[in-house]
Chains A and B, each alone.
Chain A
Amino acid sequence: DTEVTQTPKHLVMGMTNKKSLKCEQHMGHRAMYWYKQKAKKPPELMFVYSYEKLSINESVPSRFSPECPNSSLLNLHLHALQPEDSALYLCASSQETSQLAKNIQYFGAGTRLSVL
């Protein structure tokens, strides 16, 4: 099973709402990632979890709050978002984050988020 599952596929939320994006993998990977992707742009790294600990936060605004409840699950909690936060949010996982070839990343299909 080389699948990373993201839910929901689509999400529309108001600026005062609180919502969560979910990501799950059962490949035994110990690194998980959140990316934000705008149309016609490359994915931008937001967060990296390594062995269930937050290892990288790319200066993401606090209205985005990641959580890694266990090695298979990754959440992204959203609160008081702005319209410019509308984007495709991608989750990925890899065996680990080391510089060896094990950092090949497997991506979910993404959550298309619209903030009204």
Chain B
Amino acid sequence: SQQGEEDPQALSIQEGENATMNCSYKTSINNLQWYRQNSGRGLVHLILIRSNEREKHSGRLRVTLDTSKKSSSLLITASRAADTASYFCAEGGNNRLAFGKGNQVVVIP
């Protein structure tokens, strides 16, 4: 999971499998966002979940939010080689985003 000072988590899966990654955050949030970054490129916004929501879906993505545990998870179903990327959660609020350490996902064709 993304938190603290540890190295980013790495996940290697076969194409077609599901990928689940977790994120812990520290503050009281307005929303929690997930972004994807392909190697050496800019970040792309994937999904936003508000603090009063518990689950949200977008295509093959499913995000959950547990504000009591200050944690979120991102599930990518039926993964594809193109899903190979780093995935960051970001705490939204106070005029800025605070990014977690990230999860590196490799989908093997």
Q: How far is the CB of B47 from chain A (nearest CB, A)?
A: 10
CA A45 – CA B7 in complex, angstroms? 19
Whether B7 lies near A88 (C-beta < 8 A) is no
Known contacts A4-B42, A101-B48, A101-B50; A56 and B101 CB within 8 A of each other: no
A43 at interface, CB cutoff 8 A: yes
- Which listed residue, B8, B45, B50, touches A106 by the CB 8 Å rule? B45
B40 lies within 8 A of A48 (CB)? no
Cα distance, A103 to B35, chains bound together (Å): 13
What band does the interface of chain B fall in when counting residues whose beta carbon is under 8 Å from A? 20 to 34
Bound CA span A56–B5, Å? 24
Report B41-58 CB contacts with A as 1/0, cut-off 8 Å: 111110010100000000
Measured in the bound complex, the distance between the Cα atoms of B70 and A108 in whole Å is 29
Contact B101 A45, beta carbon cutoff 8 Å: no
Q: Which of B41, B97, B100, B101 is A105 in contact with, Cβ under 8 Å?
A: B97
CB pair B96–A42 under 8 Å, yes or no, is no
Instruction: Tell me how many residue pairs across A and B have CB atoms closer than 8 Å.
Output: 64
Chain B residues contacting A98 (CB-CB under 8 Å) are: 95
Q: How close is B6's CB to chain A, nearest CB, in angstroms?
A: 12
Query: When A104-B45, A104-B48, A107-B43 are in contact, do A48 and B96 touch as well, CB less than 8 Å?
Result: yes
Q: Chain B residues with Cβ under 8 A from A45's Cβ? A: 96-98
Assess whether B95 is in contact with A105, with CB atoms less than 8 Å apart. Answer: no
B31 at the interface (CB under 8 A from A): yes
Instruction: Count chain B CB atoms within 10 A of each CB in A42, A48, A103 and give the residue with the most.
Output: A42
Alpha-carbon distance A101/B93, docked complex (angstroms): 9
Could you tell me which A residues sit within 8 Å of B by CB distance?
4, 6, 33, 40-43, 45, 48, 50, 55-56, 88, 90, 92, 97-101, 103-110, 112
Besides A99-B30, A106-B45, A109-B41, 12 other CB < 8 A contacts?
A: A40-B102, A42-B88, A42-B99, A43-B43, A48-B95, A48-B96, A56-B95, A88-B40, A103-B97, A104-B45, A107-B35, A109-B42
